[in-house]
Chains A and B, each alone.
Chain A
Amino acid sequence: MKDARILLTHGSGGESTRDLIRQLFLPGYGNSQLNLLTDGAVLTNVTAQQVFTSDSYVVNPPFFPGGDIGALAVIGTCNDLAVMGAVPRWLSLSFILEESLPIERLEKIVQSIQRTAAEAGITIVTGDTKVVERGKADRLFINTAGIGELHIPQALTPARIQAGDAILVSNDIGRHGIAVLASREGINLEVDLLSDMALLHPLIQALLNQGIDLHCARDLTRGGLGGALLELADQCGQDFRLQETRVPVSETVQAACELLGFDPLFIANEGCCALFLPEAQVADALAILREFSAGRWSAQIGTVLGNGTVKSAAVKNGGVFLENAYGVERLLAWHTVDQLPRIC
């Protein structure tokens, strides 16, 4: 490439932009659709009900232990679709690049996107490129949209959560947020931690295909497990009870959280989801999940109690109760102060 760094002209829509696309993006993750470079992508072979999502990625630093912003963009978007019960198929991927970003770095990200897209079985069919002045974007931001196909009669939604459902988590929590933070701040951890970035649709589809009556799934990104459950309890109006000792947390994450003063329950994950399914199917579900490396530490962490089981004005529309090792129940509450900025 002529220019070693991104310049404002790369975003102007003229020759520089076309050069960038042809020389960097298309060789990276091009395909028959994207290569057409039309303003929009025509989707053919649409066989089922569709699920549509959108996401943006501003993670700092863009390269972190276990991944980078490109892979994250693909995985994150696919996971949003996966937890609806859909199979991801098409993505749009748009860049906002900071002027003077080294193109070599962009190349690495493009390669990463390509690898992840292939693994996910999705095609990136459209995109956009903008460049902003130095200082207006921290190296690069990525925005995505994704379409997936639903092969089950009903999407997985909070409304389907029932009293008596088991609450499972697909893997140990806290790795992504801590890994990114440690890398960004240069914190020395005893054991090097990697982000838990992983595609979730293989696990969820495996569950669905093998007869598990999954009611709801939620990925545990910003706000972590705690945030997701608080939101879900509020949305479905049911109370959840979690057993603290059953939530899988690695020793490294635990130690880092103790050092930093964070609660692992509210740390972001990028390869982990909460699952709601009938109690009777827990053993089967865990067996299926544990066949995947991204489900290695899957566990049941609690149950759905039902509607208004805890009579208290503090819990109007569904609360989450955390039971400790001694059986004492605490009310899980929102942490109003953002624990970690810019981790996804």
Chain B
Amino acid sequence: MQINEPCQNERQHKDSEQSEPQKSDNMMPTDISGVASVAQHLILRGEVQGIGLRPRVKRWADELGLRGWICNQGDQVALQVAGPAPAVQQLQDQLRALACAVDIIELDHDLAPGALSAQSGFAILPGEPLHVDRLYQVPADRGICETCLLEFHDPADRRYHYPFISCNDCGPRFSILTALPFARANTAYARLPPCRKCQEDFADPANRRFHSELISCEVCGPRLSGVGLADIGVSADATPDDLIRRALACLNGGGIVGLKSLSGMQLLARADNESAVRRLRERKQRPCKPLALLVPSLAWAQRLAQVSEAAAQWLTSPQRPIVLLPKTKAADTQLAPSVAPDVPDLGLMLPVTALQSWLVESVDAPLVCTSANVSDEPILFANADLETAVGTLCDFALLHDLEIEFPQDDSVLMENQGRTTLLRRARGFCHTAFPVPPGETTLAVGGDLKNTFALARGGVAVLGPHLGDLESVKTLQRRDWLLDQFSALQDFTPRRICVDAHPGYISRQQAQRLSQQTEPLGLQVVQHHRAHLLANHVACPLPSRYLALMWDGNGYGDDCTLWGSEAFLVDAGKITRVAALAPFPLPGGVQALLQPWRLALSLSFAAGISRADVLQRLVSNTVTESQLAAVWQLLEKNLNCPISCAMGRLFDAMSYLLLGTERNEYEGHAPVQLQYCAQRGLEDSTALQRDGQGGHAAPFAIQLRTEGDLLVGDWQPAWRDFFYGASFSVSAQNAPASVKQQALAFHRGVADWALALAHRFNVDHLSLSGGCFQNRLLQSLLLERAEPMAVHLMWPATVPLNDGGLALGQVAFPDPA
């Protein structure tokens, strides 16, 4: 919270009585009581709209006997307030105490002492647009609050069972926004004028919906409708109760319900019904990636997972994300096996809207809740699309006539010992602005996986919502459309476009074409891992000198190999690559990313293990000797074996060596299996020690050796040890103790290497990014080691460590001009 010098923004003077700032006569006027009177013009910036700030300030002003006005201007709040100096100070203090929302209070200027004297009381004025030379902060969607839920369930309340109940503290914001500032007329509610009763509530300072922009009720609000398969008659005038009954019948019968939720459509099914979940997976074409759960209450969440206090705060937060939490033993008995097979964590979410709450509380059981789309395609949100989804994705759909302007997925985050890791940045998060060095107005196109884009103008950057993998045509179209929407809202025309260095990325190819066609649009290429580094630099407070560890599955490197285990030393703005793992081949290129057994083969080959030993050891139920021999040939002949040093691939290889994970069904699948096994190993090791069984596996020691300017992490001796010392298991959950201990030893070895690098370069801050650090166990092991060394582990809580955060780093790349 700061009081700044008067800002340079354009501003529009509201108060017609207010004259130019007077030449001071150094005499403060006094009011009747003799106390000195002041008048001020303040600008508030941050998340200041859509949170009921104006009515709250009005109440304070009224209580303090202050005169003036407040209104939304663009993405800011402007207010003028006059009255006794202590009262004005009190108001400012109260504003500053709203630490969660208001970032900046600028004392724009002191007003003439006599200003506002004609104003009686304190008024809330209509909002107005503001054009400034920076990007705008946009109000975030807010999950339904406790009070609205109580009103929703209270038969005596006017809004009992009104599905679109909201207030100053909760409800849709960004997802229904058409322009700034936040006002009914600038949202999808513009075509739903409030009825007389709602207008009365709106104007009544005693009402909790005083000045609630989206105030509505069943008389004037959006209409719920239902679309079902032909055999189910759903009449045009079905009441919300009828429709909910219909939806419940569908769910309880093992069917799939489509729900138009706050920022897009979701598919719901009972999580305890195996055949329903299987059907949902088939329709969505998602064979085994875990599905998230909507639970009725925090109590339910606690039954299924270990919910820490920090996690509970996230679950009930306005962002209302999906929170990944360690499963309890009980969870497996409550949930169908296909919900989250072979993974240590469950993704849980509390209801975001009254409609969701109504459904899940009526069922009183967890519901599988996933975005309505075919896997890897963007979330559906337009009614026409949702209607056609009936029969293909769902059996019954609950829709309404409120337009969604900015569709977004639910955000996903992980909570671990008080540290938050954001895995998917979408609803609730994607409006946040970041400060970046000023420069050309820039668009960053992100990467091809988990694509997002970022915009920057006037020292402010915005990271757009999760879009998906760019191979899908529908994702490309959604991206174009969403970028247009963003650009319109943000007055945005880029003069510079930043891309990843990978020549094969669709995002890069598209941007290159664009920069050639559009004048003037400069193209800036940013190396993948440096972009991750810069994203952290923007989003975390880091000192002038630190080591950045960028560990992921792959990213195109300066030397045209695929990097992914990089350590960069950052010192007063200079970035130098100082360490990486020893490289290894990827036999069959892209196939090696899909088939972890190829990595196991490749590492063995590179480590000098004999062909005979490899063929004997690596054969399994799913990988034959002839397959191994064929790929061995590729390695010997160096045929389509691009070089990589990615840490993610080391995890893949180990996952096959210990667990026989033959295929990466989704990004990170094999490493997650390994993590699960290692976590079990951690749980066991106390028991083992107690029983005197020792059970500690040999360590996985990555050695350091110097090669020119680079410190190379030599994993080969450790790999050989594990190769010869390890035994197989076919299940992460039921692996023998030795395998679990080795999986754990591997994680420990990797964590040791990270801290060894910190020690070697004598840094006390490690900046971590890349998908590998989304591993809960690895995080815990790192934290455990970092503490006694007084090394601070830094990663952002609001930017994904995976490629979803790439665009933010790209957009922050210094402008050479």
Contact = CB atoms under 8 A, between A and B. Distances in A.
Nearest to A189: B630
B480 A311 contact: yes
Given A259-B630, A313-B510, A326-B374, A321 B591 contact: no
Contact of A312 (B476, B591, B637, B642): B476
B473 A333 contact: no
Contact of A314 (B376, B480, B631): B480
Q: Name the residue in B377, B476, B506 with the highest tally of chain A Cβ atoms < 10 Å from its Cβ.
A: B476
Contact of A316 (B517, B627, B630, B639): B517
Contacts of B631: 259
Q: Name the residue in A185, A314, A327, A339 with the highest tally of chain B Cβ atoms < 10 Å from its Cβ.
A: A314
Interface in A49-101: none
Contacts of B640: 260-262, 339
A187 B377 CA distance: 38
Interface stretch (B20-28, B582-590, B670-678, B789-797): B582-590
Contact of B506 (A261, A310, A314, A329): A314
A241 B517 CA distance: 25
Contact of B513 (A259, A316, A329): A316
Given A260-B640, A314-B480, A333 B472 contact: no
A321 B504 CA distance: 17
A11 B517 CA distance: 49
Interface residues of B, number: 35
B517 A185 contact: no
A329 B476 CA distance: 11
A235 to B, nearest CB: 16
Q: Name the residue in A258, A260, A326, A336 with the highest tally of chain B Cβ atoms < 10 Å from its Cβ.
A: A260
A55 B509 CA distance: 30
A310 B474 CA distance: 9
Given A262-B640, A313-B510, A328 B285 contact: yes
B633 A328 contact: no
Given A310-B473, A333-B504, A261 B591 contact: yes
Contacts, number: 86
B639 A310 contact: no
Contact of A331 (B376, B476, B590, B591): B476
B473 A312 contact: yes
B634 A331 contact: no
B705 to A, nearest CB: 30
Contacts of A262: 589, 640
B590 A336 contact: no
A188 interface: yes
Contacts of A260: 588, 591, 634, 639-640
Interface in A304-319: 310-316
A328 B506 contact: no
Interface string B598-638: 00000000000000000000000000000100110110010
B592 interface: yes
Interface string B649-690: 000000000000000000000000000000000000000000
A261 B587 contact: yes
Contacts of B642: 337
A188 B632 CA distance: 12
A186 interface: yes
Nearest to B587: A261
A261 B285 contact: no
Interface in A173-198: 181, 185-188
A185 B480 contact: no
A182 to B, nearest CB: 10
Nearest to A329: B473
A331 B471 contact: yes
B91 to A, nearest CB: 48
A293 to B, nearest CB: 30
B472 A329 contact: yes
B477 interface: yes
A312 B472 contact: no
Contacts of A313: 476, 480, 510, 514
Contacts of B517: 316
Contacts of A312: 473, 476-477, 480
A311 B477 contact: yes
B468 to A, nearest CB: 12
Interface string A283-326: 00000000000000000000000000011111110000100001
B503 interface: yes
A326 to B, nearest CB: 6
A134 interface: no
A310 B479 CA distance: 13
Given A313-B514, A333-B506, A261 B592 contact: yes
Interface string B504-538: 10100110011001000000000000000000000
Q: Name the residue in B513, B588, B630, B634 with the highest tally of chain A Cβ atoms < 10 Å from its Cβ.
A: B630
Nearest to B375: A328
A258 B630 CA distance: 11
Interface string A12-54: 0000000000000000000000000000000000000000000
Q: Name the residue in A261, A310, A331 with the highest tally of chain B Cβ atoms < 10 Å from its Cβ.
A: A261
B504 A337 contact: yes
Nearest to A326: B285
21 contacts: A185-B639, A187-B630, A187-B633, A188-B630, A259-B591, A259-B630, A259-B631, A260-B588, A260-B634, A261-B589, A261-B592, A312-B477, A326-B374, A328-B285, A329-B472, A330-B471, A330-B473, A334-B509, A335-B504, A337-B642, A339-B640
